[in-house]
């Protein structure tokens, strides 16, 4: 069950403040499930601020209930002074660090649950349990890595590793960028010498410069197609520099010609 998985892996952070980590989003703020229960354990109501919690049932509520049930069993079987492992509940996980495969604990959820039950039942509580480790695998040679990339390329898998691997990444470059048929970004025309020009001289210079700038229909189509996703595309930021866009239109129309705002473009 997903709730048991969250309990065994330390997703339950704090029962007093009732916080549980997201199942798939470690960087998101913890969720806040809560339950109302009678003294005999009967659950009267439950809720969570996750999407599934809107229906009053989700794995986060389940993880919280399992956590409370495990602590109750610990408290009913021994006192704090009887066992060093009295609070041997899974440690709360704040973040999942990046690690090599051989350093990752691949212990199954069912095994982790059996270990937790053993701790609660007083079995082998003093024994230090080591995480399951994979056997040591030597680092591949440069030839072996190249052969793997070659086989991935031959299988036509479009593997992500090929996009950042020398010798294979060129075919992932968009055709628009390969052709190079794009208009010249206005930011390339920037020159610090223009900062000392008077408004009249700068206006005359811009008029003269505009007569030399040309954009073909094909270049305009390519630029639109390349920047269609706007802020999700790096080229979008480059092509919009120096242009009068909707977000600065008001500033352009209201700025002073003698002392223009820096974010505007006067022509």
150's tokens:
């070659």
Residues of the chain with pLDDT under 50: 80, 85-86, 125-128, 266-267
pLDDT in tens, 46-73: 888 887 766 767 888 888 888 888 877 7
**In the chain, where the domains are located:** 2-120, 142-172, 186-254
pLDDT of residue 264: 63
How many Å from the N-terminal Cα to the C-terminal Cα in the chain?
66
- Residue 199 is predicted with a pLDDT of 81
Which pLDDT value is given to residue 122?
Answer: 67
Tokens for 140? 């591949």
pLDDT of residue 143: 93
Predicted pLDDT at 84: 52
Q: What is the largest CA-CA distance in the chain?
A: 89
Q: What is the pLDDT of residue 6?
A: 74
Q: Is there a contact between 64 and 18 (Cβ–Cβ < 8 Å)?
A: yes
Chain segment 195-224, per-residue pLDDT in tens: 788 888 888 888 888 888 888 888 888 888
């Amino acid at each position: 069950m997903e709730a048991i998985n969250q309990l065994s892996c330390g997703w339950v952070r704090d029962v007093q403040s009732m916080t549980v980590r997201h199942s798939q989003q470690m960087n998101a703020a913890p969720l806040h499930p809560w339950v109302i229960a009678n003294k005999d354990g009967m659950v009267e109501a439950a809720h969570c601020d996750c999407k599934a919690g809107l229906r009053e049932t989700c794995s986060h509520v389940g993880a919280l209930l399992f956590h409370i049930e495990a602590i109750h069993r610990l408290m009913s079987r021994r006192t704090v002074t009887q066992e060093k492992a009295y609070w041997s509940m899974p440690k709360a996980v704040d973040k999942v660090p990046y690690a090599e495969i051989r350093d990752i604990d691949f212990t199954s959820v069912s095994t982790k649950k059996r270990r937790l039950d053993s701790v609660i039942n007083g079995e082998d509580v003093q024994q230090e349990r080591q995480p399951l480790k994979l056997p040591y695998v030597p680092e591949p040679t440069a030839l072996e890595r190249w052969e793997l990339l070659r086989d991935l390329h031959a299988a036509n898998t479009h593997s992500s590793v090929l996009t950042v691997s020398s010798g294979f990444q060129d075919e992932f470059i968009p055709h628009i960028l390969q052709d190079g048929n794009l208009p010249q970004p206005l930011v390339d025309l920037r020159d610090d010498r223009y900062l000392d020009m008077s408004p009249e001289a700068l206006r005359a210079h811009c008029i003269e410069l505009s007569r030399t700038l040309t954009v073909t229909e094909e270049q305009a189509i390519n630029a639109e197609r390349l920047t269609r996703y706007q802020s999700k595309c790096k080229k979008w930021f480059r092509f919009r520099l120096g242009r009068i866009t909707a977000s600065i239109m008001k500033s352009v129309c209201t700025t002073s010609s003698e002392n223009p705002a820096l974010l505007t473009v006067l022509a």
